[in-house]
Amino acid sequence: MIRQALDKLYLWAGYAAGAFLVAIFVLMMLLSSGRPIGFNIPAGDDLVSWCMVATSFLGLAHTFRHGEMIRVGLLIDRLEGRTRHWFEVAALLIGGCFVAFFFYYAAQMTYFSWKFNDMAQGVLAVPLWIPQLGYSGGLGILLIAFIDEFIHVIRGNTPRYEKPKPKTAEEAIEQAIQSAV
């Protein structure tokens, strides 16, 4: 039951990131095509930048869980067995600590923006905590994903984010195509 709820959380965060990406596209097209005819969206650049932040951070957990984050495996790919397992655990612990650090300060920033009613300085007077939710919320969901994966790996399971190594050249090409490399 918890597994299904967490998977849905990561999936819906990915959907939200995709929706913000579509919003960026729509806003950019309206801004670009509106210039020649005198149509302007007030604070369009601000809206686009806030959508970009939400897209970037809300998509992190989904990307992490599907093994699409950039991972440099120069050392860990050469290890096997228990040694590799403990290096995976250490990597998740270190990564989780970094994400927790950033989440703490992002959440604190969002809270203080809400508490002090901090407003955007642009054309639209938007409370800053609203666009900051995409940033702090995305980091919070990523932290949950790191903790989830850490517990999974510490129990002796293989990481869910790790893709199987290709056995043939065709499999390697197919993985590269799917990863858009």
pLDDT for position 72: 64
pLDDT digits (tens, 9 = 90+) for 138-166: 999 999 999 999 999 999 888 888 777 77
Helices 44-58 + 2-34 axis angle, to 10: 150
Q: Answer yes or no: is pLDDT of 71 > 80.
A: no
pLDDT digits (tens, 9 = 90+) for 13-63: 999 999 999 999 999 999 998 888 888 888 888 999 999 999 999 999 999
Classified as helix, coil or strand, 89 is helix
Parse the chain into domains and list their residue ranges. Answer: 2-162
Q: What is the DSSP letter of 123?
A: S
What gap in Å lies between CA 174 and CA 30, rounded to an integer?
37
Classified as helix, coil or strand, 127 is strand
Which residues make Cβ contacts (< 8 Å) with residue 146, sequence separation at least 6?
Answer: 64, 92, 95, 96, 99
What gap in Å lies between CA 154 and CA 19, rounded to an integer?
34
Task: Residue 58: count other Cβ atoms within 10 Å of its Cβ.
Answer: 27
pLDDT for position 62: 93
Query: Would you say 40 and 34 are in contact if contact means Cβ atoms under 8 Å apart?
Result: yes
Considering only CA atoms, which of 24, 18, 53, 22 is closest in space to residue 41?
24
Lowest-confidence region among 29-38, 74-83, 102-111 = 74-83
Element (H, E) at 145: helix 129-154
Which residues make Cβ contacts (< 8 Å) with residue 47, sequence separation at least 6?
Answer: 23, 27, 41, 124
